Every structure is written in structure tokens, then in C-alpha cells.
Structure 1
Amino acid sequence: MPELPEVEVTRQSFAGQIVSAEVVDVVLGKPLRWPLGVDGDELRGCRVGEVVRRGKYLWLPLSAHSGQLTGGLLIHLGMSGSLSFEGRPGAPGRHDHFDLVTTRGTLRLHDPRRFGAVVWGASMHEGMPGKLLSGLGREPFGDPELTPEWMRKQLKGRSVSIKQALLAGDVVVGAGNIYACEALFRAGIDPRLAAGRVSGPRCERLLREVRAVLGEAVALGGSSLKDFKDAQGNQGHFQLSTQVYGREGAPCRACGSFIRRIVQGQRATYYCPICQKR
């Protein structure tokens, strides 16, 4: 599943090219997770504003010349979706389910499993976009209220494991499976530790490493474990530098003991039994 780094890399790969473009057409394929929520014809003539990311969602603001139709499209890549942005793409294939055709190129959603979504809203805080974004935690970058003290307060009393608390995304967004494993390793925290038992100093260390891991992943173009590519067709390389993820049975690069794999909440967790403490 594309996580925050992959979504941010995707945003960066087309946002500068599509801004201020005029919508020429909207082409819909097979139904996605939710209906678009607006007649595609109404979007013709709208101008695209600055594309922003919220968690694993992208928001494309749109406004008409008359100023009467304002709002935007909220896009989620689902389990296997990807966006491409090309000047003259070919005809949509069987797994291409949404084209936003503009004067600067076509933004296309390719989604074999159709768990992705493109939905209209009057703003990010209204309608279906508002519902989808309302339960998200704080952004790991640029949010002054996301502090170790605040994070510890949110985790207090939780019996669920710290790994599962990170994946829930209601405290801090973006720490998907790969990145949660890596951040917990760097912070020296056993992924099985109850979230409510993470001390203040360990919260500080964990938050620092979550930010560091996500930042490095963005810089490396995300993780291409299967077929992730950005909107220009480039693969990511973070998967080549993981310390624990995907390395079951391999020696820990810090202590030499063997990396272990367990399952938590139906997701694989990789950790070092020596470097990571409860």
C-alpha cells in the first residue's frame, strides 16, 4: 500500500506541472470505492490550485472562472493505486479508472484492485473529504503541536502495542508498516510494548525517528516493494536501506543477532530482539 512517503513523492512529481492548468475533461472508468460526487462536466473550465497532501490523501483544489464552483478532489491510492501525469497518454487501460484531462496534461489514476478513491468536496473539511480526513492524527512535519509530551498523552492508557498504535494513524499519520518497523528499531523500542507504557524520553526518541525515517523515505523516492512509481514513472529506493523490514533471519547491522518476524494485527513486524527493548 502506498504510504505517506510514496504519496508525498507522487505529489512532488506532478504538483508543479498541473498547478493553474484548466480542466478540459473528466473520464471515468469502472466505479471506485466511492462515487465521484459531482458531474464531471461541471469540472470543465475549472483551474487547478496548489496540490497538498494530508496523511495518505492528496487534495486538488479546483475553482471555476466565475468563482461559483469551488472545492476540490480528494484522491486516495488505495492498496495498489498510482497516479501518472503525461502530456499525451494513450487510451485508458482496463485498470485506469479516472482521468483528469487538463491543458497541461492528464492526471490518471491506475488502480488494479479499485480500493482507491477520487471524491469531490466543497472543501477538505466538508462532505466526503471531511469525513475521510476527520479521524487523522497530526502530520509528522510542520505541526508545532506534535510534541513528545502531546504524543505521550495520546498514548496514555492504551494497551495496544506501540507498533499497532503507530499504524492506526490517529496520533501521528504516515508511519505505515515499513516505516513503523524502522522507526521503532532506531528508537530501540520493542514493537510489542504496550503503547501506554512508552515513557516520555522514549516518546521523544520515537517521534524523532518517525520523522527521520519518513524524511529519508521521501528523499529516496519512497519504497517500491512491488510496483510503486511516482507520477513520472520513477521507482523509489528506500527499501534498499532498511535495517529490519524484510530482513527476517539476517544479522542485525548493529549487534549481529538475527532479525525476527512476528505478526501483529495481520501485518508483518520485523525487529531485533537485542537492540529493541520492552
Structure 2
Amino acid sequence: MGSKASKPAPESPLLDEPWREVNWSEEKQRDLQDVKNYKPPTEGQQVRILLHGPAGSGKSSFINSVQSVLNDRMYRQALAANTFGSSFTKKYTTYKVPKDKDTFYPFVFNDIMGLESREQTGVHVDDVKLALKGHMKEDYQLNPQSKLSEENQFYKRHLEPNDKVHVLVLIIPADTLGIIRHELVQKIREIRTAASDLAIPQIAVMTKIDKACPEIGRDLKNVYRSKYLKGKMQQLSTDVGIPMNCIFPVKNYHEETKLNNDVDTLILNALTQIITCGDDHLKFLLNQSD
């Protein structure tokens, strides 16, 4: 009797080589120094970064993670919830990042209610558009059923240069990307179109990568070797139109009590790209005003 044919070895979930290079031993310090040294093109200017995305995607956790890395300790200023579904954030909130005892970094984050697929739930798309233009005042209580009206006391009529958004950042979870409904994708596309009409650059930050891929959960350095994650990033790029070189995977701090060099490296990599885009937009606006 002939011998049974041997079964082929299972295909590895990892690429032989990373498709995006990361110098894990050096990039953290280089990017950290770049952030610390950053100065906007105009004195007193600040880069305004608006975070949006599905409810429970990790917007508040990303803000906390950035603050943790830059302050070299765990930071929990932005209230976050470990849920996916309805939004935990109810008000339009600005977060400054302390640089030292008396000063702040020249960029701020704006957190807004999460998007949801159903009508009259989650942040109203028109409210995100108003925030992009700078018309939404701090602490506005977001209402999923109606947008901010010009008669409302939280509508800002007279705008200053620092009121407008300079970078729009989509926060999207890798572990639930496959179940995001078409209606929510359409809302993201509508917001992206509004930002493009204003010449506002856009970045996507993909969170929860350790939950989405076991190989990344075991070793974060597998982030750019994971076939699964690369596929998810390509899916996101196709769904919402953000180029692959504008999508950055991160792991937010949510369970840890101590900082981790690899986590910091990915967060700083995303942050430096966000700041660079914001700086480019500020220079664009300066050229437009000349």
C-alpha cells in the first residue's frame, strides 16, 4: 500500500518581513524629541486635532495614552469606558497636554460623541461638520436627534484661528471593523468629504490591534508582519478612502499600570504624523492669507 500524502503545513499568519519598517530601539526617543521640539509656524498658534469614530473605538483612551507617553506616567484625564455600542462621551471637550508645570504642548485634542449606525443615535454628522469649522463651543451637550443651531448659546459665531480644526483623526477599532455597518461607513465618508472640502488633512488610527490579532497580542512587534492586520488596514482604506500611508495601528493603554516601550513607540509614531499633517495645514492657511 502506498504511503498517505502528508498534509501541507498550515500557512503562517505572519509575513516573513514587516511591510512597514519600525526601528523599535530608536524611534520612540526620536519621535518623542520631535514632539517636544515642535513649534507651530505662528506664535500662539496651536494644532487642533478632532477625534471621531464609532462609539467605543478608543478616542478617549487614545488621548489618555498620548498624555501618558508625554508625561512618562499613566494619565487618565479623558473619561473612557470599556464598552462598544453607545457613546460614553456626551460633551464636546478640549484636552490640553501639559508640557511642564506652567506650559502646554502647542496642540489640543477635541473629543466628541461617537458615531453610531442607527439614525438619531450617536453624534449628529452635521455637528461634526460644525466642529470642523470651529463653530462648536466647549462643553456643548451633544444631541443625537438634532444638530447645534445658530441660535444656541454654544454656537460660536466669531471665529479665531485656533478655533478651526487642523487635522481630522478617525479612531477605528481593528477587532470590530468587520461588523461596522454600511450606514456608519457612509457617515464616516460624509464627514471625510466635508473635511476634504475644507482642505483639512485626515489620518486614521486603528486601535485594539492586540485584541484583533493573537500574534500581535503576544508580541506588539508583529504589528507590521500580521497578515490579518494588514488586511484590516486595506479594508479600512477601501471602505472610507483613507490611503494606507495615512493609517497607523496603535495599542492604547487600558489595562496596564506601567508604560511599555513598544506601546509608546506606536503611539508616538501616530502622534508625530498627526502633528506633521496639522503643521502642513497651518502653513497652507498662512499661504492662503498672503
TM (norm. structure 1) is 0.26
Structure richer in strand, relative to its length: 1
The structure showing larger relative contact order (alpha-carbon pairs under 8 Å, at least 6 residues apart) is 2
TM (norm. structure 2) is 0.25
